[in-house]
């Protein structure tokens, strides 16, 4: 926790750790983001063509429905995870 007794070098060190943790979460999220849209929705669609969904295949479903649902999940996950991280590193606004 960054209270008055902590010196500024330690704060800077903690901030660095916070930022690295944040970048890691962003990278993982972006891999999922790309996988469901560019991956399942477009490039990997031929590989998913065996899985049929209502008259078409899973790739079509991801392109028109699934990717959007995953995007939603990702943003809320990130907001929740970052609020936790803010508290862990004591960098939240309060």
Site for another protein in 36-75 (CB under 8 A): 37-38, 41-43, 45, 53-57, 60-61, 63-65, 67-69, 71-72, 74-75
Per the listing, tokens 């983001």 go with 33
Give the Cα separation of 92 and 94 in Å (integer): 6
Instruction: Please give the Cα distance from 82 to 93 (Å, whole number).
Output: 12
Residues lying near another protein in the complex (CB under 8 A) are found at 2, 15, 18-19, 22-23, 26, 29-30, 33, 37-38, 41-43, 45, 53-57, 60-61, 63-65, 67-69, 71-72, 74-76, 78-79, 82-83, 86, 90-93
């Amino acid at each position: 926790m960054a209270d008055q007794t902590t010196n500024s070098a330690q704060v800077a060190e903690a901030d660095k750790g916070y930022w690295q943790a944040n970048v890691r979460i962003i990278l993982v999220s972006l891999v999922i983001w790309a996988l469901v849209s560019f991956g399942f929705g477009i490039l990997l669609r031929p590989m998913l063509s065996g899985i049929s969904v209502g008259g078409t295949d899973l790739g079509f479903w991801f392109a028109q429905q699934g990717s959007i649902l995953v995007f939603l999940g990702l943003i809320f996950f990130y907001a929740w995870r970052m609020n936790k991280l803010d508290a862990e590193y004591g960098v939240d606004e309060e």
